[in-house]
Structure 1
Amino acid sequence: MQIETHVLRILDEVLSLDGRSAGFDRNTHLLGAIPELDSMAVVSLITGLEEQLGIVVDDDDIDGATFATVGSLVDFVTAKLA
């Protein structure tokens, strides 16, 4: 659960959601559902995850499914931290 908390905090910061991520859960849709998450924001989000969580995201790691829901993003980050 701690990783999910970090991911939600980073989402909130990078997308300037003003605390809206507090209402998100694993099933919350991201890409295509949150207007703030456009292609440029995805790049900023990846950078934020890398800097704040110490992970490295390669270009071929990234596809739309990674950013489909909070759960898919958390699972991706969890795998990167393993």
Structure 2
Amino acid sequence: MDPEADGAIADQVRKVLVEELGLDPVRAAAFDADTPLFGALPELDSMAVASVLTALEDQLGIVIDDDEVDGDMLETFGALVAFATGKLAD
């Protein structure tokens, strides 16, 4: 993917995090690739993971299989964006 497309995907992931977790949009706008997510954001607990992943599926038109979900994909904002980018490339 090109950098512009990657930026658009990151924007969609930010939008999902804001909508599903109730994050402040200004806070989410400051997220970079190294921003920790799961375990660092109290809003992103195990129950919220399902709603975030479902919203990503809806927003991006991707399908996430249960066996693809692991701690690494939710460790940082960059990891989640990379996962979504990879799913779009499939």
Q: TM-score, normalised by structure 1?
A: 0.96
Separation in 2 of the partners of 1:39 and 1:68? 13
Q: 1:40 and 2:47 equivalent? A: yes
- Report the count of equivalent residues: 82
Q: 1:14 and 2:6 equivalent? A: no
Separation in 1 of the partners of 2:24 and 2:75? 21
Give a deviation string over 1:33-52, Cα, whole Å, max 9, x none. Answer: 00000001000000000011
Letter in 2 for 1:68: E
Structure 2: stretches of 5+ with no match in the other structure? 1-6
Structure 1: stretches of 5+ with no match in the other structure? none
Separation in 2 of the partners of 1:2 and 1:81? 12
CA radius of gyration, larger in = 2
Give the % identical residues. Answer: 56
Give a deviation string over 1:19-74, Cα, whole Å, max 9, x none. Answer: 12111111100000000000010000000000111000000000000000000000
Deviation at 1:2, TM superposition (A): 1.1
Q: TM-score, normalised by structure 2?
A: 0.88
